[in-house]
Structure 1
């Protein structure tokens, strides 16, 4: 069967076409990304501007047309938080319906976290044991934790990189007081929910395992849960870019983020865009992403995360394949 997911977010509409069969991973056929650039186009009343809606409709129409050219039989269209939370979302859906012939759907932030967790679990395999997941989007950030294919805990917070840039980081280069204010805000917001995932961090009172007894490992290594050791995993374009800039080999450390945050703060967006793996469309919000990532890790006592290449889009495809193969 030929499936596709269309993920319409604050930076772009991403189309991913795959061939799928029950029991096997989806095989990529085609990808297309059409810019939406919605991050700086939210009015004071929470509505997307007319120009932003025009860009969004154009991007969706382009990607839907491409899906039809590739004979997609089942298209999963998803509008993420920037569109879902817009006060003119009904107008947006109507215009997309009229122009592209599809109905944009949305998940709650918690459901997005659950679907992303499914993708991470499939990428890792069940034998990897418990997982603690962090995800930073344009409008929201998600935390999920669990031992199975679906998380035991899923939290969504209004801490997206584009949202924080727009509301709390007006200047680039950024003022130290603004950087500090963002860090405090994220730290306070995440700590308010940290008790829900305490069982997946060393604060939760895990019995120490051999790794901790030897003195090695990280804040999560060596703290045993039934079925294995909790593994901190991050997804999203923000974490991928930060890992390219401040990490190595798909791993991002809190120490690396702390080193890079003042350097990113001192840069103009066009200077950040010259860093490896950083797109010009995301360079302005890269600093916010770094501060959010560091504060989330600090609040949860995580010293590193491994970056997973699968995220929400892959989770939606995997879930749909399971649905279609279930009698």
Structure 2
């Protein structure tokens, strides 16, 4: 069976086709991505502009059209926080669903963190050992801990890198006052929320953290494409430099994509505060995330009929 998965995020829409008959971990055998620009067109009040909706619709249509000649048995389409948290989210999801030809689901922050944690546990293995995942998305930051395939505690805060950039860092580059206000907000909310969390083995999820790892582990004229860790000491050393650059200059740095040049600074500061709060000198980079977690959920449901499997995975979404 080949499963199509359409992920609509703050930076891009991505459609993967996954071969579920693969004897190894099911991987995407084909993929296409198109920039959605949702983060760039989300206003401070959370509303996505008409231009932003149109851009996202075009991105979804490009993905679906590109996959038109790729036979699949099912399409699961979902939006991340950029879609879920939009103040005009109902209209946005309706338009995106019309473009995709299927209903666009969204996960609650806690469910999204749990599914992502599940993927990380599968990747890392060693069930029974305490593990912690840190996931910095566009709208939320999630910290999940547990010893089995599902977390026993999830902390989800509205401190995603794109959201914080809109709320606290409107200037590019930001002013010292804006940076101070952002740090004050994070230090007032993150440490109390993480109080009592036992870190265990820490894993970093999300593209923001992976790009920060590439940036901080690289040296002049030698980019580390697949870093194994994000170190707090190196991260803290880079933050002042990132704060001095505008988004175009940041996008020229090793590992930093153009779509995340603006938000990478807020993401770095959030990561620093979390690592300091949990006393983590480093995070191990995990390449898996929400997509892989959803694939595993679907595989676990396949002991039933195909229709029941789709219903069970669909029940995860609002």
Structure 1 residue corresponding to 2:233, chosen from 238, 248, 255:
255
1:103 equivalenced with 2:103 (yes/no): yes
CA-CA distance at 1:27 after TM superposition: 2.9
Alpha-carbon offset, residue 174 of structure 1? 2.4
Judge conservation of contact 2:213–2:230 (CA < 8 Å) in 1.
Answer: yes
Question: Are 1:143 and 2:143 an aligned pair?
Answer: yes
Distance 1:98 1:28 in 2: 25
Structure 2: unaligned runs, 5 residues or longer: 219-226, 306-318
Shift of 1:83: 1.0
In the alignment, is the contact (CA less than 8 A) between 1:22 and 1:321 conserved in 2?
A: no
Q: Give the TM-score normalised by the residue count of structure 2.
A: 0.88
Residue 154 of structure 2 aligns to a residue whose secondary structure is strand
Q: CA offsets per residue over residues 254-308 of structure 1, 9 Å max, x none?
A: 1111100001001121111111111111101111111111011112221110110
- Does the CA contact (< 8 Å) of 1:243 and 1:252 recur in 2? yes
Q: What is the distance in 2 between the residues matched to 1:265 and 1:140?
A: 21
Q: What is the CA-CA distance between 1:78 and the residue it aligns to?
A: 1.0
**Equivalent position to 1:320, from 282, 298, 301:** 298
**Deviation string for 1:231-271 (max 9, x for gaps)?**
11010000010000013632111111110000100112111
Matches within 5 A, 1:1-327: 1-21=1-21, 24-127=24-127, 129-197=129-197, 200-201=198-199, 230-247=200-217, 249-326=227-304
1:127 shift after superposition: 4.6
In the alignment, the residues of structure 1 paired with residue 295 and residue 127 of structure 2 have an alpha-carbon distance, to the nearest angstrom, of 22
Of 16-25 and 314-323, deviating more is 16-25
SS at match of 1:325: coil
CA RMSD in angstroms comes to 1.7
* In structure 2, C-alpha distance between the alignment counterparts of 1:116 and 1:280, rounded to whole Å: 25
Give the paired residue count. 297
Give 3-state SS (helix, strand or coil) of 1:126's partner. coil
* Cα distance in structure 1, aligned partners of 2:97 and 2:4: 18
Q: Is the 8 A contact 2:128 2:148 kept in 1?
A: no
CA distance in 1, matches of 2:92, 2:173: 34
Q: Tell me by how many angstroms 1:100 deviates.
A: 2.6
Unaligned 5+ runs, structure 1? 202-229
Kindly indicate whether structure 1 or structure 2 has the higher relative contact order, using CA contacts under 8 Å at least 6 residues apart: 1
Structure 1 position 151, deviation (Å): 0.4
**1:31-73: per-residue Cα shift (whole Å, max 9, x none)?**
1111011113223442110000001111112222334421121
Displacement of 1:22 in angstroms is 8.0
* Contact map agreement 1:251 1:305 (CA 8 A) in 2: yes
* Aligned mates of 1:81, 1:32 — CA distance in 2: 21
2-structure distance, mates of 1:301, 1:133 = 14
CA distance in 1, matches of 2:134, 2:90: 30
